[in-house]
Amino acid sequence: MNSSAWIEKGDKYIMKTYGRYPLVPVKGEGCYLWDADGKRYLDFLAGVAVNNLGHCHPKVTAALAKQAAELIHCSNYYNIPTQIELAELLCNLSFANKAFFCNSGAEANEAAIKLARKYSREKYGVDRYEIITAISSFHGRTMATVSATGQEKVQKFFDPLLHGFRHIPFNDAQALREAIGPCTCAVMLEPIQGEGGVVVPDAAYFQEVRKICDENNLILIFDEVQVGMGRTGKMFAHEHFGITPDIMTLAKALAGGAPIGAMIATDRLAESFTPGTHGSTFGGNPLVTAAAVATIRAIQEEGILNHTEEMGEYLMGELEALHKKFPSLIKDVRGIGLMIGVELAIPGGDIVKTALSRGLLLNCAQEKVLRFVPPLIVGKKEVDEMIAGLTEILAAL
């Protein structure tokens, strides 16, 4: 079936929760996708920061194929070797001592919210339940994570929201200090806001946040669903800020495209999750955790973090050159590693559409911020190809 036939059928049968572009990808390799008509696309969205190793990385594909032939699923009532291996890898790479697995970023944040509340009520009483999050944050689409998210467009239509969330301006330590009350139990933040438009805080902000949390016995939760797993040139984005959280959530890129979420924490907190207090049927099943183990090993074996730093600098330099070339169209270029935002003076929707028609996949967050989250394996050749395309598009405006 060709692309237009699939699009017509999709409109008939798939709910329109996404405004879908007229693209039907059927095959992927590295930084490229091919559609149902055989046309090739350079992918600078990578499934929204999911395909960090590119499409169908041979090690991830092989791990999935092997595990699919051995054991796809079994219950979390039993011990799952690949899940245990993954938990060990994540704990060795981070501040955490224990992991909980689920199937998405929203679920990872749900788990973090539940753990923070349970720990706090046991330690300080039932009135300690409020979680402070940031304006322009994004934490997911479930009711609790919608309530946590600091964006009206995500929340409207779904009242009443879950009680117990308070939103403060991001990158403002004084606002955090002032928001803390007797009910506050935790602070949940993205190290860099992704959906919020690639918002990078000042270097000192998170050190101040950590200090405030310590002074007030608050749990610090980092939502690294989008920025974790090497995206910024470090395995976890908070490593740039020289502090650690008490809980961290991961999802998007963790299993190279297989659906997974993880909530990892220190032992002090993890002890609150006793048998029966939380769970997930599919969470951390053999298939997805085999893919995640292969993904992390590939990041380590293939020097992906150094490469990301190098390519991030290269892409940033090229985008800054575009900024100089088109000063009236581009207002700001910002980011860390291969998590880069270009703030436009105009809405970016048409640029994304034109790019698509030219075989280039871009993304726009918050209407005016072009968000560049290519596969971390991207090379100079692909960056040059993207920049050449974008330059022509901007020049024609």
Ligand X SMILES: *Cc1c(COP(=O)(O)O)cnc(C)c1O
Residues annotated as part of the active site: 138, 223, 252
φ, ψ at 395 (rounded to 5°): -65, -30
Q: How far is the CB of 145 from ligand X (least distance, A)?
A: 7
Q: How far is the CB of 290 from ligand X (least distance, A)?
A: 19
Binding flags for ligand X, 140-169, as an x/- string (CB under 6 A): x-----------------------------
Contact region with ligand X (CB under 6 A), list: 20-28, 31-39, 56-64, 137-145? 137-145
Binding flags for ligand X, 227-246, as an x/- string (CB under 6 A): --------------------
Could you tell me which of 14, 69, 117, 44 has the C-alpha nearest to residue 287? 69
Q: What is the distance between the terminal CA atoms of the chain, rounded to a whole angstrom? A: 35
Contact region with ligand X (CB under 6 A), list: 138-146, 156-164, 239-247, 328-336? 138-146
- 260 vs 330, beta carbon nearer ligand X: 260
φ, ψ at 362 (rounded to 5°): -120, 175
Q: How far is the CB of 44 from ligand X (least distance, A)?
A: 17
Binding flags for ligand X, 249-278, as an x/- string (CB under 6 A): --xx--------------------------
d(CA 188, CA 112): 9
Q: How far is the CB of 223 from ligand X (least distance, A)?
A: 5
CB-closest chain residue to ligand X:
105
Total number of residues that touch ligand X (CB under 6 A):
15
Contacting ligand X within 211-230 (CB under 6 A): 223, 225-226
Is 374 a binder of ligand X (CB under 6 A)?
no
Q: How far is the CB of 149 from ligand X (least distance, A)?
A: 8
Contact region with ligand X (CB under 6 A), list: 134-142, 160-168, 172-180, 338-346? 134-142
- 339 vs 393, beta carbon nearer ligand X: 339
Chain contacts with ligand X (rule: CB under 6 A): 104-106, 109, 138-140, 190, 194-195, 223, 225-226, 251-252
